[in-house]
Amino acid sequence: MKDVAVLGVGMHRFGMWPDRSNADMAREAGLAALADAGLAFEDVQAAYVGYIFAPVMSGMRTMKEFGLTGIPIQHVENASATGSAAFREACFAVASGRHDVVMVLGFDKMTAMIQQSSATTDPAWLEDSILPAGFFAMWATRRMH
Amino acid sequence: MAAKRRVPIKAGYFTVPDDPAEPPKLLGSRCDVCGEHFFPRRAICAKCMAPRTADVELGPRGTLYSYTFVHFPLFGSTRVEHIGYGVGQIDLPEGPRVQLPLAGKQEDYRVGMTLEAELEPMREEADQDIVIVRFRPVEADR
């Protein structure tokens, strides 16, 4: 396995951005990461994109913001761990020698998420009522018991 | 007024007894080979991997393993009593630890207390009550 390094990072400022699309925010973050790394998008050989509440194939559409170079784009969704799971897959891609330079991109608009998820849809199962923070809270309750 | 017919929010997870006073039971599985119980139902035993399980009813009582309180409307419910709700992990006597909403107030819950399953109407639909299952602390244990 080859060593893996993070060459650059970038982000869009956190907050409520009703007038900015996922693509707008992701483009700003990605361009900042490329600038930090001193790389051009042509150097990127593959992309790993994470989000939860944007539509299917949003990662593909968002990566087009950087250019149309024909690289493979892999979507990764893993709930709260979406970003770290995308990062892990990118690390494996480099460590295995499959790629030399890859980009990891994560985005979501959490303000829109709450409206969508709580509307009238039935739960997959009643465990969904616990919500992510609730699972960690129950863990804490038991540890403090 | 006659009681509305009660329909589970999702079929295959809990019983809806004809008698409103009778608590519901959870619909689980027991492995034909090793005897381990599961909830929800499984086709393949998660312990010994045998592909033979039987449908069984679990509960209706259990022991509270942990809990918390969620300050958010339950599944977007517009009923004022659903604005905040308890959730818990409940150990059933058959073995499974289930994770479900709790009835009662935030200060009602204690690790180790006995709870019993009950049905709660979430909303009306075509003159039926759509019900969920939740666990309520039994009076003697509060």
For B113-124, the pLDDT digits (tens) are 999 999 999 888
* Class of the domain covering B5-17+60-141: mainly beta
Report pLDDT digits (tens) over A84-123: 999 999 999 999 999 999 999 999 987 765 544 444 445 5
Residue A124 has a pLDDT of 60
The domain ranges of chain B are 5-17+60-141
Question: What is the spatial distance between Cα B64 and Cα A130, in angstroms, rounded to a whole number?
Answer: 15
Instruction: Compute the nearest-CA separation of B34 from chain A (Å).
Output: 27
Residue B17 and residue B24 in contact, taking contact as beta carbons nearer than 8 Å: yes
Question: What is the spatial distance between Cα B142 and Cα B130, in angstroms, rounded to a whole number?
Answer: 29
Mean pLDDT of chain A: 91
Contact residues, chain B, for A142 at CB < 8 Å:
65-66, 89, 111
A116 touches chain B (CB under 8 A): no
Q: Is the pTM of this model over 0.90?
A: no
B74 touches chain A (CB under 8 A): yes
B85 touches chain A (CB under 8 A): yes
Q: Give A129's pLDDT tier (boundaries 50, 70, 90).
A: confident
Domains recognised in chain A with CATH numbers = 22-119 (3.40.47.10)
B8 touches chain A (CB under 8 A): no
Nearest chain A alpha carbon to B99: A127
Residue A13 tokens read as 């400022």
Please say if the pLDDT value at position B84 is more than 60: yes
Least confident of A11-25, A45-59, B51-65, B74-88: B74-88
Residue A138 has a pLDDT of 97
